C-alpha cells in the first residue's frame, strides 16, 4: 500500500486526529523552521511543535570508540504534537541521513544546507565523508580516509489526509575508485541505508506498542510477521516489490511506515534485529557490485510517515502470515 493509495483513506480519520494531540490534524498548516537548542543541537520545529533533533556525525576532535552512529534524526514525531515516533537520543534505529556504515566508518559533514523558503516544505542537504575507521577494525593502522562521499536530500512536508509528516529521503553514496572491494568486504550482505526502531518497539511483550510488521513482498503479497522472536530465519531476508512498504502495526496514535520508492524496493532487502526489533534496510550486495564495477554511485529513495489505525487495520486484514515463519500459517505461541 503506497503513499498515493493511502491518500484515498481519509474517511474515519477525525477521531484519530482528535485523539492524537491538541492539534487539529485535518486543518493543520505546518510552519517548519530550523532551530538551535540552548545546548547547541540543531532541531526541526513546526511552529512551536518539536519535530526532530539532528545528529551531525563526528569531527576529528570528537571521535568515539565502538559503534559510530549515522548522521540522522531522532527525538522524531510523525504526528504534529503527537508522541515520539523515534526516541530521543536513539543510537539504534533513528531516521538515517547517511548510510549506516556503523560497522565501518565514522562520518563527518562537509556541507550542510537548510532551505526554509517555503515554510510548508522543509529541505535539508547534507554532504559527508569518512574520517576514520571504527576503532575495533583489524586493519585500523592501514586505513586511509576519503573512501566514500555521501549526499542526502531531505524534504519534510505535512499530509493531512494521512495525517502525518512525510519525511522524503534521497541518498547517494559514491565510492572512490579502487576502494570498492574494501567497502563490500565489511557490509554484511548489503550496505544499510536506513534503519527504523519506533519508540517502545523493544518493550516486553505485555507492554509492547506494536505487535505486527506488514510488508509488501517481491510477489506483491502483503505478508505479516509477529513482532517477537518467532519470525523465522533472519538470513533469508525480506524482499520487496517496487514501491514496497514496511509498516509497524497496530497503534491508535499513528503507525510508522517505510516506503521504498521505485527501484529502491527492488534493489533492497530487510533484516529485522532479534535484539532490538529495529528494521535494517540494506542495498543488496549483488546490486552494489554491479553498480560499483560500472563506476556508478549507489542511490536509495525512501519515505517515512505514519498511517492511521483504520489504514493499519486494513493493511493487516489484507495480509497473510509470512511463509518464512517458524510456524507457517499459525499464530506464534508468544504472541
Binning pLDDT at 50, 70 and 90, where does residue 62 land? low
Residue 332 lies in a domain: no
- Residue 327: inside a domain, yes or no? no
Is 253 inside any structural domain? yes
What's the count of helices (H) and strands (E) in the chain, helices before strands? 5, 19
Question: Is 333 within the bounds of a domain?
Answer: no
Tell me the mean pLDDT in the region 238-260.
Answer: 92
Greater pLDDT, 179 or 257: 257
In a domain, 87, yes or no: yes
Whether the CB-CB separation of 70 and 86 falls below 8 Å is answered with: no
Q: Does the structure show a pLDDT above 50 at 249?
A: yes
CATH number at residue 92: 2.70.98
Strands (E), the chain: 32-36, 42-46, 49-55, 72-74, 95-96, 105-115, 122-133, 148-159, 164-175, 190-196, 212-216, 222-226, 238-239, 245-249, 255-260, 268-272, 279-284, 298-307, 320-321
Question: Could you tell me the sign of the dihedral formed by the alpha carbons of 111, 69, 73, 314, in that order?
Answer: positive
| Alpha carbons 9 and 233: distance in angstroms, whole number | 34
pLDDT at 61: 47
With a cut of 70, say whether residue 145 has pLDDT above it: yes
**Is 146's pLDDT higher than 60?**
yes
The answer to whether 88 and 53 have CB atoms below 8 angstroms apart is yes
18 falls in which pLDDT band (50, 70, 90)?
Answer: very low
Q: Please write the tens of the pLDDT for every residue from 121-144.
A: 999 999 999 887 776 666 666 778
For residue 13, what are the β-bridge partners? none
Question: pTM value?
Answer: 0.88
Instruction: Please give the pLDDT value at position 8.
Output: 41
Range of the domain at 155: 3-321
Counting Cα atoms < 13 Å in the Cβ hemisphere of 260 gives 31
Give CA–CA dist 239/322, Å, rounded.
Answer: 12
Q: How confident is the model at residue 16 (pLDDT cuts 50, 70, 90)?
A: very low
| Cα angle, residue 53 at apex, residues 4 and 169 outer, rounded to 5° | 30
Q: How far apart are the first and last CA of the chain?
A: 25
Specify whether the CB–CB gap between 255 and 247 falls below 8 A. Answer: yes
For position 73, what pLDDT does the model report? 95
Task: Using alpha carbons, select from 106, 150, 115 the residue that is nearest to residue 44.
Answer: 115
The pLDDT of residue 184: 67
Examine the pLDDT at 115 and tell me if it is beyond 60. yes
Q: Report if residue 282 sits inside a domain.
A: yes
Residue 329 in domain: no
State pLDDT tens for residues 192-213.
899 898 888 777 766 678 889 9
Enclosing H/E stretch for 310: helix 309-317
State the total domains in the chain: 1
**Domain annotation covers residue 146:** yes
**Residue 163's pLDDT band (cuts 50, 70, 90):** very high
pLDDT at 12: 37
SS3 label, residue 249: strand
Mean confidence (pLDDT) of the chain: 83
Amino acid at each position: 500500500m503506497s503513499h498515493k493509495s493511502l491518500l484515498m483513506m481519509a474517511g474515519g480519520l477525525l477521531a484519530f486526529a482528535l485523539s492524537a494531540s491538541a492539534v487539529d490534524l485535518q486543518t493543520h498548516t505546518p510552519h517548519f523552521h530550523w532551530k538551535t537548542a540552548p545546548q547547541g543541537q540543531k532541531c526541526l520545529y513546526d511552529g512551536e511543535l518539536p519535530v526532530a533533533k539532528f545528529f551531525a556525525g563526528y569531527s576529528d576532535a570528537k571521535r568515539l570508540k565502538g559503534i559510530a552512529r549515522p548522521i540522522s534524526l531522532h527525538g522524531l514525531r510523525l504526528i504534529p504534537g503527537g508522541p515520539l515516533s523515534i526516541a530521543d537520543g536513539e543510537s539504534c534505529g533513528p531516521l538515517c541521513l547517511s548510510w549506516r556504515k556503523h560497522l565501518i566508518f565514522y562520518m563527518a559533514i562537509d556541507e550542510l544546507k537548510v532551505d526554509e523558503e517555503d515554510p510548508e516544505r522543509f529541505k535539508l542537504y547534507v554532504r559527508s565523508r569518512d574520517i576514520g575507521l571504527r576503532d575495533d577494525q583489524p586493519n585500523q593502522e592501514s586505513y586511509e580516509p576519503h573512501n566514500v562521499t555521501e549526499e542526502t536530500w531531505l524534504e519534510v512536508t505535512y499530509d493531512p489526509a494521512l495525517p502525518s509528516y512525510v519525511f522524503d529521503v534521497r541518498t547517494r553514496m559514491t565510492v572512490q575508485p579502487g576502494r570498492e572491494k574494501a567497502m563490500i568486504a565489511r557490509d554484511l550482505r548489503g550496505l544499510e541505508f536506513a534503519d527504523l526502531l519506533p519508540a517502545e518497539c523493544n518493550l516486553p511483550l505485555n507492554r509492547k506498542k506494536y505487535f505486527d510488521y506488514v510488508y509488501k513482498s517481491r510477489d506483491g503479497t502483503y505478508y505479516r510477521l509477529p513482532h517477537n522472536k518467532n519470525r523465522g530465519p533472519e538470513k533469508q531476508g525480506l524482499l520487496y516489490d517496487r514501491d514496497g512498504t514496511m509498516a509497524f502495526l497496530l497503534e491508535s496514535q499513528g503507525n510508522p511506515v517505510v516506503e521504498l520508492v521505485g527501484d529502491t524496493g527492488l534493489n533492497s532487502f530487510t533484516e529485522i534485529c532479534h535484539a532490538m526489533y529495529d528494521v535494517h534496510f540494506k542495498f543488496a550486495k549483488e546490486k552494489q557490485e554491479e553498480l560499483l564495477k560500472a563506476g556508478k554511485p549507489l542511490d536509495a529513495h525512501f519515505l517515512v510517515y505514519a498511517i492511521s489505525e483504520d489504514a493499519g487495520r486494513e493493511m493487516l486484514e489484507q495480509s497473510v502470515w509470512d511463509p518464512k515463519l517458524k510456524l507457517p500459517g499459525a499464530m506464534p505461541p508468544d504472541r
